[in-house]
Amino acid sequence: MHTYLKFGVLMALIVGSLVWLAVGGVQDTKTYYKTIPELEKLDKTAQAGRLRVGGDVQPGSIVKSAAGVSFVLHQGATTLKVMYTGSDPLPDTFRDNANALAEGRLGDDGVFKANKIQAKCASKYEAKPPQRVVHQKAT
Amino acid sequence: MENVGALSLLIAFCLAVFAVAAAVIGKYSRRPLLTVSAERAVYAVWILVTTASGFLVYSLVTGDFRLAYVAAHSNKAMSAIYKFTAWWGGQEGSLLLWAWLLATYSAIAVYTNRRKFRDMMPLVTAIMMTVLSFFLGMITFVASPFRVLMAGRGVIDVGDGNGLSPLLQWWTMAIHPPFLYLGYVGFTVPFAFAMASLISKQPGEAWIHTTRRWAILTWLFQSTGVMLGMGWAYTVLGWGGYWGWDPVENASLMPWITATAFLHSVMMQEKKGMMKVWNMVLVSGTFLLSILGTTLTRTGLVSSVHAFAQSPVKPYFTTFLLSAIALTAFAIVKNLPYLKSEVKLESVVSRESSFLFNNLILLASCFAVLWGTLFPVLMEATTGEKAAIDAPYYNRVNIPIALFLLFLTGVGPLIAWRKSSLNSLKRAFLIPSVVGLAVIATLAALGIHNPAPLISFGLCAFVAATIVTEFWKGSRAIQLKEQLPFPKAVFQLTWRNTRRYGGYLVHMGIVILFIGFTGAAFNQHETRSLGLNQSMRFGRYDLKLLSVSNDENPNYQYSRGVLEVSSGGKVIDQLEPEIRVYKSSQEQSSFVGIRRRLNEDLYITFQGISPDNSKAIFQLYVFPLVSCMWVSYWVILAGTIICLIPGKVRLQYARTEVVGIASTRATVQS
């Protein structure tokens, strides 16, 4: 039984430290998805945390410079100015009207400081072929 | 024609269901004719699914744009090879590929075992055909690749299609899905054998011997698939990395992790009759994670950058997955006494225990990845809030796990079975430990103080040293005994025990892979803008912008920045990163400029022109040692192939196998 006790202790030690790492990792990187209207309604402490905000990229609003990329996300009538300063280049799918997800923090000036952008353009991967193609034929 | 394809699938579905019923009834009512009929049905299913696939491929290649699938994933401008690969470019087609691969694997498994395991084979057939019926049912009733485009009541031909996404028009991407699928689907066979042997309580470990090669080969396919995906992400996506912990990437990684654990822990069952429950859990886990992976990529269960959109197959997949989990768990729990270990663990410092910890830690890693991947789903289900966790979480959990695994890679193969004495440990590990510590000391002296890379490089050296000493000791013994030149002795040694030395080679590949991973700790990155004919310095490179051009060809428009790369005053290269916009799909795609070298890659993406039109913006990266990742693949491939070759000992001493192995071992170790 002595050997099994040793195994038990070792395994508990390994599993325990991994759980500890995982819990810490979850707490530090957990980000909530918010829509733009929801973002405005959040209280100050929640606004200070890391967030993911989704919306469509307003056409013509993308401005690239060496400092970063700024653009405007909109959802219906509400808009949000975003400044992207992350290290990864923007995904190829990121362009006017793309559905984008900005991840970062809301600044005091109301500009969302993002360091990660994901984008999916509406037509990507699985379009709805029948409607779209029929439309093509009609034109 | 689409009717013939759809009909073949429908008949295949019916035959697969028949095979399940016939096999089970035949076994339990002892009617051998019925079980034979079930096995014949498997061949028929293969022929039918092959026919259907042939029709789909033919429609894709000839451009039959009446079919919704063809119109959505092919067009006239695409080259023939991509028209063919459009087979798996969309959901319906890739499900058909899944089904076809499983039908092929099943036919091979049934054929090669047609005179063996008469007691167990009906169950194997039944399990494989159950899985296949599910997939055939999906493509027959829910997501048929042979749906035609309808306008009102008439079938229409749209003339040309949307074409395959340009990101997928790349050679590694063309073969990445089939390789992953070969790996995913392939594990159904070992799973079926394991479950069949469990349910029919087969004596001995026949299923392990039979499926060892299946498992190794499908593991190799999985590794190839994951590697191709990483290579594609690095070369084509242009975000400056090869792994982003995206749910879909995780989906391909998880079954690989459990398969790796399985390949190790079956050795314990073969040699010692231990860890039987583990093996059952691991082989089932791999199979279930493969299904989960398919569910994640095909149904939009988790939102991901490259998952398919929400789709009608989701509820079916979820139901299938959950019932498969429940049935497997039930079968294992019900037969627990059958899985009782024959030997008990004796010591914490033993080969057995290193296998145990290897299993534990691999499973922990898999669980951590699974948790992160399903976190958004679980979070939304429990609290109603949408949230996700990110790359730092995965890295924080997986880096310590990976380092511990690397340590075990070095220790495991050298430590004695049952119990190791302090003396034998000293003998085996003195040199490798000295080498590892020496590397750490040297690197620290050279100015690397970040602990994780230091430990990683140290462990890499340690493991490499254990492998080299193993080869050296063995070959030296053969060299002296048989008067052979050293290289021939190495060859002889490897051939005598291909599993062992092939395995070492795979471990060496893993070491090289880790060197590549660790290089990422020293990545450099900057965003810079540059006017025409201006130069800038980045790392040890001088970059000069020679020209920026905009042009087009029939397929796409592009803007290209041409950069001259010099180092130490000498021009060494010219890189031409591009942005392409494909005409038919209006999708944009980056084309990265990469200067690949073993020590480091220079990697440049063109980001466009600054608003005042005076400067071009580039993302510049230096990735040290990233090429090691691709090198490691070839080493792993070579090692795995060696493992698959039957060893000389088994061939020559077939009748006195056990004695043969023991005596060679003794000479090798002396």
| Domain-located, residue B654 | yes
Instruction: Provide the shortest C-alpha distance from residue A64 to chain B (in Å).
Output: 6
Angle at B526 between CA A55 and CA A54, to 5 degrees: 10
Q: Which residues of A touch B388 (CB under 8 A)?
A: 30-31, 33, 52
Instruction: Provide the shortest C-alpha distance from residue B33 to chain A (in Å).
Output: 46
B149 and B200 together in one domain: no
Picking from B165, B356, B388, the nearest residue to A125 by CB comes out as B165
pLDDT along chain B (670 residues), means of 10: 88 95 91 90 96 93 86 82 86 90 95 86 93 94 85 70 73 84 91 91 80 90 92 80 84 93 88 84 93 79 52 83 93 86 76 86 91 83 77 87 91 78 81 92 89 92 93 89 88 88 93 93 86 88 89 83 89 89 74 89 86 82 92 95 80 42 40
Angle at B391 between CA B248 and CA B411, to 5 degrees: 90
Q: Residue range A110-137: average pLDDT? A: 54
Query: Residue B128 has what pLDDT?
Result: 95
Q: Which of B390, B412, B434 is the last residue of a domain?
A: B412
Would you call A134 and B346 a contact, using CB atoms and an 8 Å cutoff?
no
Q: How far apart are CA B585 and CA B654, in angstroms?
A: 61
Query: Residue B73 has what pLDDT?
Result: 82
Picking from B180, B320, B319, B179, the residue whose alpha carbon sits closest to that of residue B250 is B180
Residue B1 contacts by C-beta under 8 Å, 6 or more apart in sequence? Answer: B55, B58, B59, B64
Which residue of B lies nearest to A3 if distances are taken between CA atoms?
A: B347
Interface contact A59, partner B, CB < 8 A: no
Query: What value does the CA radius of gyration of chain B take, rounded to a whole number of Å?
Result: 27
What backbone torsions phi and psi does residue B118 show, to the nearest 5 degrees?
-60, -25
Would you call A3 and B306 a contact, using CB atoms and an 8 Å cutoff?
no
Q: Which two tokens stand for residue B536?
A: 């800038």
- DSSP-derived secondary structure for A53-66: EEEEEPTT--EEET
**Domain A31-120: what homologous superfamily?**
Nucleic acid-binding proteins (2.40.50.140)
Which residue of A lies nearest to B91 if distances are taken between CA atoms?
A: A126
Cβ pair A96, A60 in contact under 8 A: yes
Interface contact B356, partner A, CB < 8 A: yes
Would you call B68 and A129 a contact, using CB atoms and an 8 Å cutoff?
yes
Cβ pair B49, B9 in contact under 8 A: yes
B282 and B429 together in one domain: no
Cβ pair B418, B350 in contact under 8 A: yes
Query: Residue B38 has what pLDDT?
Result: 92
Q: Please report the residues numbered 411 through 440 in chain B whose beta carbons come closer than 8 angstroms to any beta carbon of chain A.
A: none
Interface contact A63, partner B, CB < 8 A: yes
For B37, B254, B311, B384, B646, the CA distances from B376, given in Å and listed in that order, are 46, 17, 18, 10, 46
Query: Residue A122 has what pLDDT?
Result: 47
Q: How far apart are CA B150 and CA B156, in angstroms?
A: 6
Would you call B401 and A95 a contact, using CB atoms and an 8 Å cutoff?
no
Instruction: Provide the shortest C-alpha distance from residue B358 to chain A (in Å).
Output: 11
Q: Which two tokens stand for residue A18?
A: 């991994």
Q: Which residues of B touch A66 (CB under 8 A)?
A: 527-529, 610, 615, 617
Which residue of B lies nearest to A30 if distances are taken between CA atoms?
A: B389
Residue A93 contacts by C-beta under 8 Å, 6 or more apart in sequence? Answer: A119, A120, A121, A124, B587, B588
The type of residue at A45 is T
Picking from A26, A29, A89, the nearest residue to B238 by CB comes out as A89
Q: Which two tokens stand for residue B366?
A: 């898999």
Q: How far apart are CA B65 and CA B160, in angstroms?
A: 6
Instruction: Provide the shortest C-alpha distance from residue A34 to chain B (in Å).
Output: 8
Instruction: Provide the shortest C-alpha distance from residue A133 to chain B (in Å).
Output: 6
- DSSP-derived secondary structure for B308-338: PPP-TTHHHHHHHHHHHHHHHHHHHHHTGGG
Picking from B405, B305, B403, B245, the residue whose alpha carbon sits closest to that of residue A29 is B245
3-state SS assignment for residue B479: helix
Which residue of B lies nearest to A64 if distances are taken between CA atoms?
A: B610
Interface contact B371, partner A, CB < 8 A: yes
Q: Which two tokens stand for residue B496?
A: 């005598």
Q: Running DSSP on this structure, what letter comes out for residue B647?
A: P
| Domain-located, residue B313 | yes
Interface contact B452, partner A, CB < 8 A: no
Q: Which residues of B touch A2 (CB under 8 A)?
A: none
Q: How far apart are CA B163 and CA B89, in angstroms?
A: 10
C-beta neighbour count of A105 within 10 angstroms: 14
Angle at B599 between CA B593 and CA B604, to 5 degrees: 15
The type of residue at B173 is M
Interface contact B315, partner A, CB < 8 A: no
Angle between helix B247-272 and helix B276-299 axes, rounded to 10 deg: 160
- CA B651, B113, B52, B165 torsion: positive or negative? negative
Picking from A51, A77, A75, A74, the residue whose alpha carbon sits closest to that of residue A61 is A74
Picking from B309, B389, B401, the nearest residue to A29 by CB comes out as B389
Cβ pair B663, B532 in contact under 8 A: no
Cβ pair B507, B604 in contact under 8 A: no
C-beta neighbour count of B161 within 10 angstroms: 28
Q: Which residues of A touch B246 (CB under 8 A)?
A: none
C-beta neighbour count of B2 within 10 angstroms: 22
Interface contact B23, partner A, CB < 8 A: no
Q: Which domain holds residue B69?
A: 1-167
b/e map B210-249, b = 16+ CB within 10 Å: bbbebbbbbbbbbbbbbbbbbbbbbbbbbbbbbbbbbbbb
B466 and B608 together in one domain: no
Interface contact B559, partner A, CB < 8 A: no
Q: How far apart are CA A80 and CA A90, in angstroms?
A: 18
Which of A92, A93, A117 should one mutate to test binding to chain B, selecting the residue with the greatest count of B CBs within 10 A?
A92
Q: Please report the residues numbered 234 through 253 in chain B whose beta carbons come closer than 8 angstroms to any beta carbon of chain A.
A: 237-241
Domain boundaries, chain A: 31-120
pLDDT band at residue A1 under the 50/70/90 scheme: low
Q: Which residues of B touch A95 (CB under 8 A)?
A: 588
Cβ pair B99, B139 in contact under 8 A: yes
Q: Which residues of A touch B590 (CB under 8 A)?
A: 89, 92
Which of A2, A6, A26, A71 should one mutate to test binding to chain B, selecting the residue with the greatest count of B CBs within 10 A?
A26
Q: Which two tokens stand for residue B48?
A: 């039918």
B182 and B319 together in one domain: yes
Q: Which residues of A touch B249 (CB under 8 A)?
A: none
B143 and B183 together in one domain: no
| Domain-located, residue B469 | yes
Would you call A137 and B391 a contact, using CB atoms and an 8 Å cutoff?
no
Interface contact A130, partner B, CB < 8 A: yes
Residues written for chain A = 139
| Domain-located, residue B526 | no
Picking from B72, B240, B611, the nearest residue to A63 by CB comes out as B611
Burial of B461 (0-12, 13-18, 19+ CB in 10 A): buried
Q: How far apart are CA B64 and CA B157, in angstroms?
A: 8
Burial of B432 (0-12, 13-18, 19+ CB in 10 A): buried
Would you call B397 and A18 a contact, using CB atoms and an 8 Å cutoff?
yes
Q: Which residues of A touch B156 (CB under 8 A)?
A: 134, 137
Q: Running DSSP on this structure, what letter comes out for residue B79?
A: -
Picking from B325, B227, B237, B223, the residue whose alpha carbon sits closest to that of residue B284 is B325
Picking from B237, B386, B392, the nearest residue to A32 by CB comes out as B386
Q: How far apart are CA B218 and CA B213, in angstroms?
A: 8
Would you call B239 and A87 a contact, using CB atoms and an 8 Å cutoff?
no
Q: How many domains does chain B have?
A: 4
Q: Which two tokens stand for residue B659?
A: 């004695």
B213 and B283 together in one domain: yes
Euclidean distance between the first and final Cα of chain A, in Å? 80
| Domain-located, residue B539 | yes
| Domain-located, residue B303 | yes
C-beta neighbour count of B75 within 10 angstroms: 21
Interface contact A9, partner B, CB < 8 A: no
B66 and B18 together in one domain: yes
B391 and B466 together in one domain: no
For B180, B221, B328, B379, B600, the CA distances from B186, given in Å and listed in that order, are 10, 9, 18, 32, 36
**ipTM at complex level:** 0.71
Picking from A30, A32, A127, the nearest residue to B72 by CB comes out as A127
Q: How far apart are CA B304 and CA B307, in angstroms?
A: 5
Q: Is the pLDDT of residue A19 over 90?
A: no
The per-residue pLDDT for range A77-103, each reduced to its tens digit, is 788 888 888 777 777 777 777 778 888
B338 and B419 together in one domain: no
Query: Residue B638 has what pLDDT?
Result: 95
Q: Which of B412, B431, B458 is the last residue of a domain?
A: B412
Picking from B239, B348, B611, the nearest residue to A88 by CB comes out as B239
For A127, B90, B292, B297, B313, the CA distances from B135, given in Å and listed in that order, are 23, 15, 14, 15, 10
Q: Running DSSP on this structure, what letter comes out for residue A90?
A: P
B611 and B636 together in one domain: no
Interface contact B162, partner A, CB < 8 A: yes
- CA B115, B120, B124, B125 torsion: positive or negative? positive
What's the 3-state SS for B99-136?
HHHHHHHHHHHHHHCCCCCCCCHHHHHHHHHHHHHHHH
Instruction: Provide the shortest C-alpha distance from residue A89 to chain B (in Å).
Output: 5
Q: What residues pair up with A57 in beta bridges, in sequence order?
A: A73
Instruction: Provide the shortest C-alpha distance from residue B353 to chain A (in Å).
Output: 9
State the count of interchain CB pairs (< 8 A) between A and B.
158
Picking from B616, B625, B626, B623, the residue whose alpha carbon sits closest to that of residue B536 is B616
Cβ pair B107, B184 in contact under 8 A: no
What backbone torsions phi and psi does residue B549 show, to the nearest 5 degrees?
-130, 150
Interface contact B151, partner A, CB < 8 A: yes
Query: Residue B659 has what pLDDT?
Result: 40
| Domain-located, residue B323 | yes
Q: Which residues of A touch B402 (CB under 8 A)?
A: none
B503 and B553 together in one domain: no
B57 and B128 together in one domain: yes
